[in-house]
Structure formats: C-alpha cells, structure tokens
Amino acid sequence: MSSSFGTLFKVTTFGESHGRGVGAVVDGCPAGLALSPQEIQAQLDRRRPGQSSLTTPRREQDEIEILSGLEEGLTLGTPIALLVYNRNQRPGDYGAMSEIPRPSHADYTYRMKYGRMSRSGGGRASARETLARVAAGAVAEKFLRERFGIEIVAWVSRVGEITAEIDEECVNRELVDREAIRCPEPQAAARMTALVEEVKAARDSIGGIVTCICRQVPAGWGEPVFDKLEAKLAQAMLSLPAARGFAVGSGFAAAAMRGSAHNDPFVAGPDRTLKTSANRSGGIQGGISNGMPIRFEVAFKPAPTIGLPQETVDYDGRPVTLEGKGRHDPCVLPRAVPVVEAMAALVLADLALRQNAARCD
Amino acid sequence: MSSSFGTLFKVTTFGESHGRGVGAVVDGCPAGLALSPQEIQAQLDRRRPGQSSLTTPRREQDEIEILSGLEEGLTLGTPIALLVYNRNQRPGDYGAMSEIPRPSHADYTYRMKYGRMSRSGGGRASARETLARVAAGAVAEKFLRERFGIEIVAWVSRVGEITAEIDEECVNRELVDREAIRCPEPQAAARMTALVEEVKAARDSIGGIVTCICRQVPAGWGEPVFDKLEAKLAQAMLSLPAARGFAVGSGFAAAAMRGSAHNDPFVAGPDRTLKTSANRSGGIQGGISNGMPIRFEVAFKPAPTIGLPQETVDYDGRPVTLEGKGRHDPCVLPRAVPVVEAMAALVLADLALRQNAARCD
Amino acid sequence: MSSSFGTLFKVTTFGESHGRGVGAVVDGCPAGLALSPQEIQAQLDRRRPGQSSLTTPRREQDEIEILSGLEEGLTLGTPIALLVYNRNQRPGDYGAMSEIPRPSHADYTYRMKYGRMSRSGGGRASARETLARVAAGAVAEKFLRERFGIEIVAWVSRVGEITAEIDEECVNRELVDREAIRCPEPQAAARMTALVEEVKAARDSIGGIVTCICRQVPAGWGEPVFDKLEAKLAQAMLSLPAARGFAVGSGFAAAAMRGSAHNDPFVAGPDRTLKTSANRSGGIQGGISNGMPIRFEVAFKPAPTIGLPQETVDYDGRPVTLEGKGRHDPCVLPRAVPVVEAMAALVLADLALRQNAARCD
Amino acid sequence: MSSSFGTLFKVTTFGESHGRGVGAVVDGCPAGLALSPQEIQAQLDRRRPGQSSLTTPRREQDEIEILSGLEEGLTLGTPIALLVYNRNQRPGDYGAMSEIPRPSHADYTYRMKYGRMSRSGGGRASARETLARVAAGAVAEKFLRERFGIEIVAWVSRVGEITAEIDEECVNRELVDREAIRCPEPQAAARMTALVEEVKAARDSIGGIVTCICRQVPAGWGEPVFDKLEAKLAQAMLSLPAARGFAVGSGFAAAAMRGSAHNDPFVAGPDRTLKTSANRSGGIQGGISNGMPIRFEVAFKPAPTIGLPQETVDYDGRPVTLEGKGRHDPCVLPRAVPVVEAMAALVLADLALRQNAARCD
C-alpha cells in the first residue's frame, strides 16, 4: 500500500468502501489558515453520488468531520484528520460476485497482490476512496487560493464521441455546475446528457475526458528532474480509478507538430516578467510553471461495472455469465470533476511549499 | 531539485550538460546480481547522439564508469555509482543565447525558480541528463530480466502524422534497431525517415509517439492508491524532457468507448492463474499488474531547438529575432526509445521490491 | 510537521491533547494478520493515566476504534486507521498559563515555529500524542510476534538515583507489570515507589531510565548507512516527549573501554549461524542485527510540569511566578514503558519489510 | 541499503573503502551559494588518516572533485556531486581475514544481510564512508554559516576515563585543532594523548565522547513529532560507525534530576524573544530549537580492529586466534570530530529548509 502523497504538504488516506468510514490525514498544511468544515463539505457534495439522474442512485450523506488540526477556525500547523463515516453499507449487493472476478475491476489483481480480498466490494479500489482525496484537496485548495490567489477549474470536455468547445479563459465552477453533466457548453452538455441517459437505459457505461485549468500559479513551481510539475500531475491523475491517459498543454497533438509551430514565443508581461503569446506548453516549461495557466486533460475509461451480462470465468477458470446488480454510475465523469480538482490542488500545494523552502533570503 | 526516484530501488542523478560529467547513484539494487559495464554501455550507445544522419551530429563518446557497488562482476547490495565524463563541451554554442530565453525551453523557468541560470546550455533540463537515467535503467533492467524474465521493448510508433501498425506480440529490440528511426515496421519507417530528413533540411523539428511493452511482469505489482503502477509510469514518463502525454492500455481512445466493449473478459490461464482475452487494460487493473503485457504510450513534442528564426523577446521584454546555432536533433524520438525503456525498468524494479517486501511468509 | 514514521511499515499520527481525538493510520501492514481491538487496547491500558497512585489522577478511558483495514479479524493489507476520542477535556486547567510559556515545555518553541499556539494545552507536544504510537505499535508488535516470534520487553531500570539490577535473560512483561512502577526487581521497585511518592508530595517530578530488550530478531535487519538499526531506534526514542538520551549495548560505558575488552568474540550458534559470547554490541554490528538480543536504554528527564512555583517570564519578558494547577505525573517512567516498546516495534517492523524486499529469490 | 539522508537538503553517499572511490550527491542545496573545493577540502583534511602519530599511519590524499552543481563558484540549485578517488588500496591487508568474521565488526552481519560480503575490507561499514559525509556536510555548513550565521564546533571531551572541563561558550575550531587529540583543554589533552599512545603501544584501542555545540540556530527548527530536532540528530549520530550513545542537553544526568532543578526558566532576550537562564534543554524544547545553543554528546566505542590476538571462530564455527595486521586507529575520536560536525550540519540544513517551507507569507 502507498496511501500517502506529497513531500511537505502530505495526505494519507484510509478506508474501504464498505467499512466503517473513509478519511484522510493532511500533514504539513501551514498554520494560521482559516478553514471550515463547510468549505470541505461543498466539494464533497459535488462528488457525492445521487446528485442527479446521471449518477448512481445510491445516496451517501458523506458528512465531513474534522478531528484535529484546527482551533477557533484556524489551522494549527498540525495534522488535519478528516473522517466521513459510511452510512449506506449494502455489502450484499457484492456478495454474489465474490467467487467471480469482475472484468476490468481490481478483484483479481488485489487477490494476486494481497493473497486475499475484501469480500465487501472493492475495498480501496472503489471510487469511494476518492472522497478522502476531495476532502484533503479542499484544504489544499483553500491554502492555494488564500495565499496565492490560485483558481482551479475542471470540467467534462468529452463524453463518448461528443466533444465540447469551451472558452477556457472564462470558464469557472459556477458555469460548470449549471449542468448536471458538468460541461459548461450548453449544447454539448445536452448531447452528452442524452448519451449518458441512453447508455444508462442500455445498462452500459461510457468514458470521457475531464479538462482542468489552474490559474495564477506563480512561475517557478515544480522540482526537476523527477518531480516536474507535469510528472506529479500525471502521477496524481493516473492514480485515479478509471484514468487511462494524461496530457499537458498540446498533449498528444504535439506528436504531429513541428517545432516552429509548437514553440510558444515570449512577450513582455507585467512587472518585468515574461508571458508567452500561445500556451501550447500548458503553463509548464522544463517541468517548472512559467506563470501561464496550467492546462491538462485526463481520459477516463467507461466504468467497468455494467448491468449487461458478461461472459467471463470464475477464480477457478470455469466459464460463467456475470450480471451486475449493484447501483453504479453510467458515466463517472461529472463526479470525477471535483476529484481532478482535488488532486491538482494537492500537487500544487506540495510544490508551493517545496519552492518556498529554497527561498532562504 | 528532486533528483531521486524510487522508494527501494532508488536512483539519484546528477550533472549538467556542459559541466564535468553526468551520472547516477543506484541504491537498493539487491546483492549478487551479475552486472558489467558493457551491459550498461549497450543501452547508452542506443541513446548516444550522432548515431545516424537522423540525430544531432554532435558525437559524444559517453563511456560509462562504475565507481562502486560491484565486486568481481557481482553487485554488493551497496550503492552503484555510475559516471560519464563530458568530453564534447562547446558552451560557446549557447553563450550567445544567454540573454534571450529560448521559446519553449526551460531557460526562463529555471531563472524564475533558482534566481539564476546555468550559462552553459540548459543544465539539468538538457536531454543529456537522460543519459544517467539510461545507465541506471540498464541496472534495473538486468535485475528484472535475470530474476523475473521480464522483457521491455519500446519503439517509435508515430512521427508527425505517420503512424506505424506493429505486431506487438513479436516486436523486439533487434527488430526495432534495424532502422535508425527505431520503428520496426519498414514501410512506416521509410516514410518517417523521409519526413525527418525533410524537417531537418527545413531547420525545423517534429514530434511523435513512443510505445512500450513490458512482458512477463508478474501479477501483483503496483501500490494502491497513490503509487499505482500506471501512476508511477505516468510520473516517470512525464518527467522526460519534451514528454507531453501518457496513455496506458486503451488510453484516450477509452474516452469514446462503452463498458461492454472496453471490459477485458477473463479466461483460464496457466497454473491456476487467469488471463484476459483482450488487453484494453494494458496489463493493469486497480493499479496492479494482472500478468498481461504492460502497454503504454508517451507523446513527445517537437524539440524546441530549431534553426529557423523565431520572433520572441529577451529577458527585458525587448523584441528579438532568435536564430539557433547549436547542433540538435530534428526528431528526438529514436533516441527517446532507450530512455523510455530505462524509466519503465526503474518503475518496475522499485515496485518489484515493494511487492516482495510484504511477502513475509 | 512530520507526523509519519517508517518507509514501508508506515505510521501517521494525528490529534491534539484537548481536541476531539487522537489516532494513527498504519499503512503497509501485510495482509492476513489476525488482529483484534483487544490486543491494541491491552497496550493502551498500560499507557493510560490513572492506573495507580504513581501517575496522574486524570482518568482517560482511551477506547480504541479500528476504522479500516480489517475484515473478519484479518488485516486486508490496506491502511489501518485507529482512533481514540478524547473524553476528559478540561482545557481550563491550562487556560491560565496561556500568556506564560511554561519552562522546559514546548509552548515557546511552538509559538516561534507556527506563529501561533494551541490554547488548549500543548497540542502535539503533549504526552497524549504517544497514545497513537502505542496503538500503532501494538499492530507492529503483533506482526513481529506472529511472523518472527519476536518478543519486546521494556522496564524502568532507574528512577532518580535508584538503579535496579535485573536478570535480563528472564525479564518479561508479567514480571514488569507486577509493580506499578514497572521495575521487575522488587526491592528496587519499592525504593523507586517511595521516591516517586516523596516527589509527588513535594509537588515536584523526577526523571529515570527505561531499558528495552528485543529477543528473536533475525540477523540481517537494519539498512546501512543512514538507517542503521540503532540509528532508527535512536530517532524513534528521541522523538518521545522528555527523552534526553539513547544508548545501545554498552552505551556511554563504551567510552571508557578498550577494544580488547569491548569486542564480542564469536562462538558457534545453532543451524550454522554464529553467536557472540558477550553482547556489548547490543545485538547490532555495522547497523545490522546479528541475531543476539537487541538492547538499548532511553533516559527521560523529569516532567517539566510541576506544582512548585517557578520564577520565569511571560511572552513579553515580564517576570512572573508560575504555579502549576494541572494534574500531571510525578514520574512518567512507568507509562513510558509501553511507549518505548511501541516505538521499538515500529522500527523493527519497518526494517523487517525492508530486509524482506531485497530477498528476490 | 539506505544511503540517503534528508528530506529537502538531501545527501546520498556511495563507495566502498577499497573500491574506486567514495563520494556523495547533495541535492536540494539552494542556488546562489558561494562554494569552493577548498572549503570542502579543509574539513576532509581534518578527517584524513595519518594526520598525527595518534591516528592510523595510512596516508590517504582524499582530494575532493566537484563534478556538478557549481558554475563560476556559485551553486546552481542542482545536485552537487562530490567524488574522492581511492588511491591507497591495499586489499591484501584484509584478505587473510576473509574467512574469519572480525569480532564486533560488520563482517558477519553484512554476510547475513546481503548473502555475500565485500572481500575488500569492510565495504560500506568502513570509516572511509564517513569521508563522503564530511564532504556533503561542508556544503551544508557553508549554507548554514552564510545564510544564518550558524557556527558548529565539536571536540573530544572524553577518552577512556579522562574527561575534559571546557569553557563551552568560548570553544572554537582553532582551539580544538591546537592539539592533535582535538581536546581544547590542554591538560586533559596531554593526558588523553598519553593514554592513546599507551593504548597504541599495547596494540589495543580506546573509546571516548565527542561533544558538539551549534550556535546561532534560530528558534523554530525541528519537525514534530517524528522528526524532532533531537530525533534527527540522534539518528544522524547513531548512524556513525562505532557510535553507541547520544545525549542532548542534560542527557543521562537528567534521569537523576527533579523537575524543579531541571527546568530552564525563561528570561527576556533581545528583540522581543525569550532566552533561558540555564540550558539543560540543550537548545531544544518539544523537538524544536529555542534559540539557545544546541548541545549534544556522542559516545564512541573503542575501534574493534586491534593488534592483540583474539579468540573467536571462523564462519564454520571453528575456533581460531585472530591477529590483526591492518593499519588502524588506536582512537577514532580526533577524526570523528569533523564527522560529527558534518552530520549536525546536514540535520540543521534540512530542518532549515523544512521550516522555511511553511513560511508562505
């Protein structure tokens, strides 16, 4: 297990989907930061199942409790322990499957790794673990916003074959949340919504892409050579359930371009800084932020839990037809939006402290 | 700086492109492994500039020296220090640029981060740093091959718009190295080669994609939740100069798929294990290897150093026309192949030891 | 803050003495280990205040809750979250002191470090934090006992000027716990008890030494050169509140010895191993266990909280007379015994996994 | 192996005593620090064998080479690789012993750990490894001195039964180096010298204590709860060959004291800070520096290599008489002085950066 992330702003998560609770310990958050449970709850509510007809009908209350690290609404500089008790445990839904490894789930690999397997539905591979990341990420985000004015916005830019064209300079969370599908472009959102409902009716699932922008990140963040800003973002995003790809700036499209068309020319910026007239670098050069918006995409596969029957084998290799009964999301993308934001915040908060460390003037 | 990678099989690299040398310390390699300088040199030679007309005409000898950790051809379990002296130092090539941050290079961001800048050509952001990774990766690869029979093969699957269709089950390094472009499909290779020569003549550069397969990786490797196998691969690959994207298994194509088409059904495998009849998961489920081949892609942008004149500004914001004079690669892809293999080996060797640690039977 | 300890068997603690609770997350404990709350509770009860007239009259129930990582009494290999709610919060006892930094407490240094200070009595510097270590250590100890047969026993070997001569080969926890003072030699125990009662009546406090033995530790544990077994033990012990010194084997007495008298000669042991005929090395040579009992001592200063008036200054430098009102221990030694055992277990469990990692046969 | 130390200011050492060389990579040293090989060489010369008749007659030149991280005499912020080639290799001295594990050496434990053993004289357990620490520590010390005015002084305070009374407020390196024994009190120094010469003539060895003071350390350094300042110092010191004990402030004497006598009362200090009128805390309270001098002691056992015959057994358990032939130190203490200073500097530099990190104002 490796349930910790970060060097100085460090989060450790715990909890199985059907155990007593899920939580996180945030160690290294500077002292004196104003923080309330409501700020964390707000992001948890965006991740919560049962928000709309597009997500799983499971209703989880997901009430955050702050167990330590705060006094009179200010952080102490000590570990902030965050806990959400599980209230809606229905392990029975999963019990029938216990002899059959679900295709493209973690059942088989957990069994091969740990020699045994959580009977109760996926354990740490469950999307429920991301709740702890969102809670911890909300702390990181508060720190980044208050000390640096940083703004992080993610949205659903693609579902299946449907892609949205967004004005990326103006997009904000309010626009993103207008649609349950969390695509801020209304026409694409409508088509995406219809597609997800069709997929849901077919007892299937569908993949997509989340795009994320981080604004006002100061130049100089990111630690060459192994903890480059894009490298830590890539790790953070690929650690999410169902994530299959990561791209920064021009991403895979860069493969088809020439240097003369891809390079971002410098122009004069405010206060004797420089800007670039294009941002194909996605705000990062040499692994270090350059002051332009950080921009990246995360591709998610369709959730592996589907209602349709699947031909597979049990742990003994005997052919079986598997039919899902659990209540799951036809499309994880809308709920993935706050999770992507949380992981981006955790990466940036850690690199902020690391860059700060070396400034010994 | 974060020049170390790995938890148990740990590499630390050092050295600037135009300083005295470049090297690595590999700590945590198990004792008793047969290792020779020649095995390391072989991979270094595949990374070396000046191999063909497709790469930079700079000739670097890049002779590896093993300073520690070996006795009578066997590893001692102690740190293996690897050093390559720089022989072909021509800092003058870069001197003229020192007042002008090269577009899409790290000049500006290093200056913003460190408050100063290596006069001598890029320092740690230079591709020369990858030499140390290749040397360390050769040690990791030897360990993986000898103890587990693991085979790692990468190749150029795309240059610009030209994509190669490869028989991925059969591809090996011998096939890859038949063509200087390191694409094992001869017709695509010929077209890629022609394209690179055209780009070179135009004093421009071109991007592409490297695909990598790791065979015979045992099931059970990868540490949920933050050090999932694909998460560490993503970090490793995005830490490479010019890397812009990472995709595992079905990658970005998964975004357009439905679960019923994407799931990999299980079938009986040898020795009471299971296999999957397709491998859209890229050999990884829930962040843990499942015994199928690991498969991933890395997208590289076109190298930012070009001979064509570029309109940009100097550090004071004054417009200048920049004309490159250094000797650089029109296409980094062929030389990126052994670097991708090296980073994959470093990721796998570390996760091998971590998985082994928990087996206390 | 650095609230995590260990590389593979990793514990993260959280919680302030007068906040909502104190707890720990144990990540990296292998799967399949039988574990019950009762086993953890047993060690917590040995650390609990109010056990006897020798300790603080504060009564804390300290009931352990296991929030994750277990199923049907077996560890899953996932993080084990442990929580004890604080029930006996009386911050008022400390409120009066808030403008006066208590001599030899952490009040002043926390304020200098974090720019602010927990109003509620010491925060993370409180001995209550060690509760989380004891809980986590109980998990580590179970692992060590079940997989390797390791036995860890600590006892009070000195209080003030009174030193106990112990038969170290026979000492066990039952013998240690016969006396409230936790010294297994009855005559010394009686004198120590009388001394502590005298000190208590004088509203003062007294220091002492805890000695610890770890039996059946296999040869080969400890990671040269910076994570030598004695180095990690030293870090672990000096991280305890009030610890002032650490000595392994012959300790400070070695300073006065000659090599010819200090060296431990080898003799033949069972199963083609070697033993040593003396154990001045304390079971460790070159930072690695040699199969003999690990033996070390930890010196504790007298607890800084006393009832006697003290002449000091407030935060503004104005002279004040400070009179303590809180309920505190005249001698922390008896309650430090399970804490020392817990930290020893955490060190050994981590080094066990690290040694295991490199055995790739 | 765990050859790295530090979280932000990180050193990785490599090299066996009789291999090609010994060195270190210092990663995380801030940019813009003036640094010259001469500054490093000066401390190496203090550690060098053959300085006087009190140390081993082996003469090692130990010339430092800086391979990376510097340009025009200033650090770049990139890894600083330091290398000393071994010039005086006489593995023959040790060859005869290879079938006999030397008592209280690491021969046996290395063999048990790694399954094999460096034929060539001790490998990483050799005191020669400390050369790399001294080189890295000289970089750390320069950083601490230049940015914070910190001064670190260690000296030999005890050899065998001879203890020196020092005026600790005035002691400096010049005074320490006046005597080859590195005890700044001339009369004690003379007696220590006579004792070492007697021990040398007897082909034996003798232990002792090094005391160290770190002045001008700002209040606020040290990371509760596991990386407390004294905890990291304890790890650093116990990682040194032959170290057996560590004590901070009042140390083991605290065990015999009462709180009323041990507490350090506060008094007003300059610039609205506080000082303490005594320093039994050794400059650390709650794991955090309080602005007073850091003071600690390290006990060293007598070097295990002696000329006197020893009755022991070979690896097969057969009795043998072992007679040493190598050239070794009768007393390691004088040469341990710069090593203790180096490790103190590495601890402080890392905690300086970590404290700095959280200051995001």
The answer to whether the Cβ–Cβ distance between B68 and D13 falls below 8 Å is no
A170 with A61: CB under 8 angstroms?
no
Name the residue among D1, D223, D280 with its Cβ closest to that of C1: D223
- Model confidence band, residue C121 (pLDDT cutoffs 50, 70, 90): very low
Which of the residues D3, D157, D238, D312 would you substitute to probe the C interface, choosing the one with the greatest number of C C-beta atoms within 10 Å?
D238
**pLDDT tens profile C154-195:** 999 999 999 999 999 999 999 999 999 999 999 999 999 999
Q: Residue A183: is its pLDDT beyond 70?
A: yes
* pLDDT mean over A220-242: 97
Q: Is B125 an interface residue toward D (CB < 8 Å)?
A: no
The answer to whether the Cβ–Cβ distance between D81 and B15 falls below 8 Å is yes
d(CA C135, CA C23): 8
3-class DSSP assignment, residue B41: helix
**pLDDT tens profile A21-78:** 999 999 999 999 999 999 999 999 999 887 777 766 665 678 999 999 999 899 999 9
For residue B359, list chain C residues with Cβ-Cβ distance below 8 A: 30, 356
Please, which residues 41-70 of chain C have a Cβ atom closer than 8 Å to chain A? 65-70
CATH (domain of C168): 3.60.150.10
Which two structure tokens, joined as six digits, stand for D171? 């002691």
Lowest mean pLDDT among A198-212, B103-117, C299-313: B103-117
Residue D52 is predicted with a pLDDT of: 78
**What one-character DSSP code corresponds to residue A171?**
-
d(CA A219, CA A211): 21
B199-203: long-range pairs with CB below 8 Å, 24+: B199/A258, B199/B160, B199/B330, B199/B331, B200/B54, B200/B330, B200/B331, B202/A258, B202/B308, B203/B306, B203/B307, B203/B308, B203/B324
For residue D246, list chain C residues with Cβ-Cβ distance below 8 A: 234, 238, 245-247
Digit-by-digit pLDDT tens for chain D (361 residues) are 799 999 999 999 999 987 899 999 999 999 999 999 999 999 999 998 877 777 666 656 789 999 999 998 999 999 999 999 998 665 545 454 578 999 999 999 999 999 876 654 457 888 899 999 999 999 999 999 999 999 999 999 999 999 999 999 999 999 999 999 999 999 999 999 999 999 999 999 999 999 999 999 999 999 999 999 999 999 999 999 999 999 999 999 999 999 999 999 999 999 889 999 999 999 999 999 999 999 999 999 999 999 999 999 999 999 999 987 766 789 999 999 999 999 999 999 999 999 999 875 5
Burial category of A353 from C-beta neighbours within 10 Å (exposed 0-12, middle 13-18, buried 19 and up) = buried
Largest Cα–Cα separation, chain D: 69
Q: Rounded mean pLDDT of chain A?
A: 92
Burial category of D174 from C-beta neighbours within 10 Å (exposed 0-12, middle 13-18, buried 19 and up) = exposed
CB pairs under 8 A between B and D: 148
**pLDDT tens profile C332-346:** 999 999 999 999 999
The answer to whether the Cβ–Cβ distance between A67 and C116 falls below 8 Å is no
The answer to whether the Cβ–Cβ distance between A78 and C22 falls below 8 Å is no
More confident residue, D101 or A119: D101
Please, which residues 247-266 of chain B have a Cβ atom closer than 8 Å to chain A? 247-252, 254-260, 262-266
The answer to whether the Cβ–Cβ distance between A238 and B250 falls below 8 Å is no
Nearest-5° angle of CA C115, CA C121, CA C124?
65
3-class DSSP assignment, residue C44: helix
Closest CA to A334 of A210, A244, A236: A210
d(CA B287, CA B231): 8
d(CA D131, CA D15): 10
d(CA A86, CA B199): 59
Q: Is C19 an interface residue toward A (CB < 8 Å)?
A: yes
Which chain B residue is nearest to residue C358, measuring alpha carbons? B30
Question: Minimal Cα–Cα distance from B274 to chain C, Å?
Answer: 21
Q: Is C289 an interface residue toward A (CB < 8 Å)?
A: no
d(CA B48, CA B59): 8
Residue D122 is predicted with a pLDDT of: 57
Partners of A74 in the β-ladder: A34, A71
Kindly provide the residue ranges of all beta strands, DSSP E only, lying in chain A, ordered along the sequence: 4-5, 10-14, 21-27, 65-66, 70-71, 74-75, 80-85, 151-159, 162-163, 208-215, 243-248, 266-268, 274-276, 284-285, 288-289, 294-300, 310-313, 319-322
- Model confidence band, residue A360 (pLDDT cutoffs 50, 70, 90): low
Name the residue among D112, D245, D354 with its Cβ closest to that of C251: D245
List Cβ neighbours of D22 (8 Å cut-off, separation of 6 or more).
Answer: B68, D13, D14, D15, D16, D83, D84, D86, D128, D129, D131, D132
List Cβ neighbours of C292 (8 Å cut-off, separation of 6 or more).
Answer: C275, C276, C279, C281, C283
Q: How many domains does chain C have?
A: 1
Residue A60 is predicted with a pLDDT of: 61
Digit-by-digit pLDDT tens for chain B (361 residues) are 799 999 999 999 999 987 899 999 999 999 999 999 999 999 999 998 877 777 666 656 789 999 999 998 999 999 999 999 998 665 545 454 578 999 999 999 999 999 876 654 457 888 899 999 999 999 999 999 999 999 999 999 999 999 999 999 999 999 999 999 999 999 999 999 999 999 999 999 999 999 999 999 999 999 999 999 999 999 999 999 999 999 999 999 999 999 999 999 999 999 889 999 999 999 999 999 999 999 999 999 999 999 999 999 999 999 999 987 766 789 999 999 999 999 999 999 999 999 999 875 5
The answer to whether the Cβ–Cβ distance between D115 and B32 falls below 8 Å is yes
pTM (2 decimals)?
A: 0.97
- Model confidence band, residue C120 (pLDDT cutoffs 50, 70, 90): very low
Chain-centroid distance of CA D182 in Å reads: 14
Q: Residue A127: is its pLDDT beyond 90?
A: no
Q: Residue A119: is its pLDDT beyond 80?
A: no
* pLDDT mean over A308-327: 90
Closest CA to A40 of A137, A184, A158: A137
For residue B286, list chain A residues with Cβ-Cβ distance below 8 A: 105-106, 109-110, 125, 241
Please, which residues 198-237 of chain B have a Cβ atom closer than 8 Å to chain A? 199, 202, 204-209, 219-228, 230-237
Residue D58 is predicted with a pLDDT of: 61
Q: Is D98 an interface residue toward B (CB < 8 Å)?
A: no
Q: Which domain holds residue B227?
A: 4-358
Partners of D25 in the β-ladder: D12, D81
- Model confidence band, residue C99 (pLDDT cutoffs 50, 70, 90): confident
List chains touching B (3+ CB pairs under 8 A): A, C, D
Q: Is C28 an interface residue toward A (CB < 8 Å)?
A: yes
Q: Is A322 an interface residue toward B (CB < 8 Å)?
A: no
> What is the 3 state secondary structure string of D161-196?
CEECCCCCCCCCHHHHHCCCCCCCCHHHHHHHHHHH
Largest Cα–Cα separation, chain B: 69
